[in-house]
Amino acid sequence: DSGVTQTPKHLITATGQRVTLRCSPRSGDLSVYWYQQSLDQGLQFLIQYYNGEERAKGNILERFSAQQFPDLHSELNLSSLELGDSALYFCASTRGRGGGPGTQYFGPGTRLTVL
Amino acid sequence: GESVGLHLPTLSVQEGDNSIINCAYSNSASDYFIWYKQESGKGPQFIIDIRSNMDKRQGQRVTVLLNKTVKHLSLQIAATQPGDSAVYFCAENRGPYGGSQGNLIFGKGTKLSVKP
C-alpha cells in the first residue's frame, strides 16, 4: 500500500458527461501528480500541483482541469467526455516540489470507461 | 521528439533464472531514472532508481545499470520468481535542468512472464 488513495475505483459514464476523480496524497506529501494510462499511449503525465498551486503541465487537454485543496487532496475534472478518454487515471505524490531525485508514490488508479 | 522507450515488449523467463529488461532514453539532460513495476489492476510501484552520476545500483535481488554513452538503462532481476510477473516501466525524471519540474516520462513497458 503506497499510502495514496484514489476514488472512485471504477467509473462508467457516457460521452459528453463530466466526472471528477479524487486523490489523497500520502501523509506529509505536498505534491500531487496526475497521469493517464491508456493502451496506445502508455503512462502520460497530465499535471502537477504543489501545496495548492499548479507547478507543471503535461499533455493535459483543455477539457480537463485539476486543483489541489488546502487539505492537499486533489481533484481531476474531466468534461465533455469522449470515447478516447477511457483510460486508467493515476495520481502520485511526493514530499517536495519534484524536479530531481524523489520517488513518486502512485495510487491504485481510477478506471474510467466512457460509453 | 525525445522519449524513453523499451526494446522488448514481452519477456518470458523460467522461475529461478535471471531477467534483464532494457530501456533506451534519448535525452542526455536526464539526471534521474526510475524503474517501476505494475501488477495487473494496480498502480506503478517503485523498484529502484539511479542518478546520472552513477552507473550501477543494487537493491534486493534487483540491479539497475546505466550506460550514459549509449543512453541505455537496464533492470536485472536475480532468481526471478512468479511474483515478479508484471509490466516493468523505466521512467525518466528530467528534473529542473530539463524544465519538466519533476514529472516522469515513462517508457511503453515490458511485460515479464515467469514460468514455473
Residue B27 makes CB contacts below 8 A (sequence gap 6+) with B2, B4, B92, B94, B98, B105
Render pLDDT for B13-41 as a digit per residue (tens, 0 to 9).
Answer: 999 999 999 999 878 888 889 999 999 88
Q: Which pLDDT band, with edges at 50, 70 and 90, does A102 fall under?
A: low
Closest CA to B74 of B108, B102, B33, B115: B33
Looking at residue B26, its pLDDT comes to 76
Residues B50-83: tens digit of each pLDDT: 988 999 999 999 999 999 999 999 999 999 999 9
Identify which of B44, B89, B101 has the shortest CB distance to residue A98.
B101
Residue B78: predicted pLDDT: 97
Q: State the DSSP string of B48-102.
A: EEEETT-SEEE-SSEEEEEETTTTEEEEEESS--GGG-EEEEEEEE-HHHHTSTT
- pLDDT for res B98: 40
Q: How many residues does chain B have?
A: 116
Distance (Å, whole) CA A88 – CA A115: 15
CA distance to partner chain A, nearest, from residue B84 (Å):
17
Mean of per-residue pLDDT scores for chain A = 91
Nearest CA in chain B to A109: B43
Q: Which of A97, A77, A84 is nearest to A33 (CA)?
A: A97
Which of A33, A103, A108 is opposite residue B103, by nearest beta carbon? A33
Q: How far is B69 from chain A (nearest CA, A)?
A: 21
Name which of A58, A101, A108 is nearest B49 (Cβ-Cβ).
Answer: A101
Comparison of pLDDT for A78 and B4, the residue scoring more: A78
Residue whose C-alpha cell reads 523498484 in the numeric block: B47
Cβ-based contacts of A108 with chain B (< 8 Å): 41-43
Are B100 and A33 in contact (CB < 8 Å)? no
Q: Residues A95, A29: contact at Cβ < 8 Å?
A: yes
Q: How far is CA B79 from CA A20, B18, B65, in A?
A: 43, 5, 17
Residue A36: DSSP 8-state: E
Q: Is residue A98 scored above 70 in pLDDT?
A: no
Give CA–CA dist B28/B21, Å, rounded. Answer: 20
Residue A55 to residue A76: CA distance in whole angstroms: 15
User: Taking a C-beta distance cutoff of 8 angstroms, is the pair B38, B87 a contact?
Assistant: yes
Report the range of poorest mean pLDDT among A55-64, A76-85, A87-96, B99-108.
B99-108
The three-class DSSP label of residue B96 is helix
Contact B103 A98 (CB under 8 A): yes
Q: What is the pLDDT of residue A23?
A: 98
